[in-house]
């Protein structure tokens, strides 16, 4: 079997802070942001690529007792693969915001050996960003 990652959901205490981080620092395009702000949809997203989005779920969606144990404790981190120039730009933008960065570090992944950095978004989600020397 082969699949494609459709989306991940990040539980957000402050949706607007995450939108700013993922659009301004990571430079992902917002999806349904105006509709969210107008109360027409329950959450906004940011687009990673043509087939993958990151949903930003506001607290009202996940604060119910039965949902609090899902998600965050099981998410170690997620990884974004970029070309080297985009990776360097992201690293510079993260550093410019004084967000602590771990790395660069050699790592192995889906396409073999890569160079990675790790940092956290405003909600504490760990992000790995990498590039492969192809």
DSSP 52-80: EEEEEEEHHHH-SHHHHTSSGGG---EEE
> pTM to 2 decimals?
0.82
CA–CA distance, 73 with 90 (Å, rounded to integer):
26
What are phi and psi for residue 86, nearest 5 degrees? -65, -40
Output the six-digit token pair for 72.
Answer: 């965050």
* Domains of the chain listed by start with CATH number: 1-74 (3.10.180.10), 76-134 (3.10.180.10)
CA–CA distance, 1 with 113 (Å, rounded to integer):
24
Question: For residue range 100-121, what is the model confidence (pLDDT) as tens digits?
Answer: 999 999 998 888 899 999 999 9
Q: Where are the beta strands (DSSP E) in the chain?
A: 7-12, 29-31, 45-49, 52-58, 78-81, 102-109, 112-120, 126-132
Output the six-digit token pair for 5.
Answer: 């990652």
Question: For residue range 23-63, what is the model confidence (pLDDT) as tens digits?
Answer: 999 999 999 999 999 999 999 999 999 989 999 999 888 77
């Amino acid at each position: 079997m082969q699949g494609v990652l459709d989306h991940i959901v990040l539980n957000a205490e402050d949706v607007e802070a995450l939108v700013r981080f993922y659009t301004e620092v990571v430079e992902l395009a917002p999806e349904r942001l105006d509709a969210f702000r107008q109360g027409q949809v329950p959450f906004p997203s940011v687009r990673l690529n043509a087939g993958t989005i990151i949903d930003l779920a506001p607290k009202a969606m996940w604060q119910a007792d039965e949902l609090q144990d899902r998600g965050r404790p099981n998410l170690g981190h997620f990884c974004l693969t970029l070309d080297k120039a985009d990776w360097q730009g992201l690293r510079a933008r993260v550093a410019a915001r004084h967000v602590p960065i771990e790395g660069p570090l050699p790592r192995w992944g889906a396409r073999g050996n890569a160079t990675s950095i790790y940092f956290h978004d405003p909600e504490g989600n760990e992000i790995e960003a990498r590039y492969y020397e192809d």
